[in-house]
Amino acid sequence: MIEIFQEKIRQAAAQRVPLRLRGGGSKDFYGNAPSGELLDTRSYAGVVSYEPTELVVTARCGTSLPSLEAALHEKGQFLPFEPPHFGAEATFGGCVAAGLSGPRRASAGALRDYVLGVKLVDGRGRLLSFGGQVMKNVAGYDLSRLVAGSLGTLGLIVEASLKVLPRPAAEATLRLQRAEARALEAMTGWAGQPLPVSATAWCDGVLSVRLSGAEPAVRAAAGHIGGEPADGSFWAALREQADPFFAGAEPLWRIALPPAAPPLTLEGRQLIEWGGGLRWLKSMAGADRVRDAATRAGGHATLFRAADKSPGAFAPLDAAKLRLHRELKQAFDPAGILNPGRLYREF
């Protein structure tokens, strides 16, 4: 199967035909609009190896993400970065290529933090292997992490190895009434204390907190934080953007900020996650205004879901960085055929 992908990519490179690498298509909305001849990755599927005591799972790109997570669940483990699926058809390869993380991001780390190795077909159709299945590996540049989140622009991820962790023994969700500024203060305050906080979210005056860990630790922290117990299914709905906040046709912005940044004053509604580090904004405000506000606050704004992505999905790069991006793209994909324009229009 890999040979078929390689051949297809080699031919496309020879003929300069753009390819659109795609798994289940659950994240077609993300980034700039995909284009090019379809290369469907789903035919190369399955878990290659999974040994719970090694804390590593290796799977092929077309593996169904929900079924992979179910296999981990069965052994009491999980993907700690809680990747959003955005559809039952989500694949493992698409998950790594998109690089998105869910509610546990602030405490457990992002997808890239769990990437141990990838097998990749580059833009010349070469099958390459970087990293491996071990926790510590500093041989060569860390190209596995570079490829995570690159939206298929550097190569077709045919296989990836991720670190997995045991599921927490106990979890509890609490709900508190807090205005935005006080909620932000509470979230940053908790982050600086040794508390088992595994997720936070604020919207419309309600601050939700999830605690995860050993049962006695969760119980003690719940006493410390206070509030009312709430249903833990809230977090899955938040991760999948099934929460009512995400409904409606206004553009959805994903604004990543230093967690301690003060409230953003932009028109529209906001939902805050990751202890203040992620601010979702539903707003008709102009792209320049949103991006300026994000930059001034020390972060960047992604136009996550919108009918019109003409302002570009991702915050523009400065000249030095754009040059490095182009050079890297050139190194991996000299013919420029892999998901061109999906990340930035310039390459």
Partner 1 sequence: MGEALPVAVVAAALREFLPARAVLHEEEDTRPYECDGLTAYRQLPMVVALPETEAQVQRILATCSALGVPVVPRGAGTGLSGGALPPGDGVLLSMAKFMRILSVDPRACTAVVQPGVRNAAISDAAAPHGLYYAPDPSSQIACSIGGNVAENSGGVHCLKYGLTVHNVLRLRGYTVDGEPVEFGSAAPDAAGYDLLALAIGSEGMLAVVTEVTVKLLPKPQSASVIMASFGDVEKAGQAVAAVIGAGIIPAGLEMMDQAATRAVEQFVGAGYDLEAAAILLCESDGTAEEVEDEITRMRAVLQAAGATRMTVSNNEAERLRFWSGRKAAFPAVGRISPDYYCMDGTIPRKRLGEVLNFIAAMEKKYGLRCPNVFHAGDGNLHPLILFDANDPDQLHRTEQFAEEVLEKCVEVGGTITGEHGVGVEKINQMCVQFGTDELELFHAVKRAFDPAGLLNPGKAVPTLARCAEHGRMRVHGGKLPHPELPRF
**Footprint of partner 1 on residues 168-207 (CB under 8 A)?**
169, 188, 191-196
Question: CB neighbours of 25 closer than 8 A, spacing ≥ 6?
Answer: 87, 89
Q: Which is nearer to partner 1, 89 or 167 (CB)?
A: 167
Give yes or no for residue 258 binding partner 1 (CB under 8 A): yes
The H-or-E segment that residue 98 falls in is: helix 92-98
Binding mask 319-338 vs partner 1 (x if CB under 8 A, - otherwise)? -xx--xx-xx-xxx------
Chain CA centroid to CA 163, Å:
15
Among 14, 70, 134, 247, binds partner 1 (CB under 8 A): 134
Q: Which is nearer to partner 1, 54 or 89 (CB)?
A: 54
Residue in 5, 310, 332, 279 with CA at minimum distance from that of residue 151: 332
Among 135, 179, 247, 249, binds partner 1 (CB under 8 A): 135
Q: Confirm if 314 and 302 have CB atoms less than 8 A apart.
A: yes
Q: Which is nearer to partner 1, 15 or 193 (CB)?
A: 193
As measured in angstroms, the least distance from the Cβ of 29 to partner 1 is 18
The Cα 266–Cα 138 span in angstroms is 43
Binding mask 215-254 vs partner 1 (x if CB under 8 A, - otherwise)? xxx-xxx---------------------------------
Tell which positions 83-122 bind partner 1, by CB under 8 A: 99, 105-106, 109-110, 112-113, 122
In the chain, the amino acid numbered 210 is R
Q: Which residues pair with 207 in a beta bridge?
A: 176, 202
The Cα 215–Cα 40 span in angstroms is 44
Q: Which is nearer to partner 1, 278 or 337 (CB)?
A: 278
Q: Confirm if 103 and 201 have CB atoms less than 8 A apart.
A: yes
Among 256, 272, 335, 338, binds partner 1 (CB under 8 A): 256
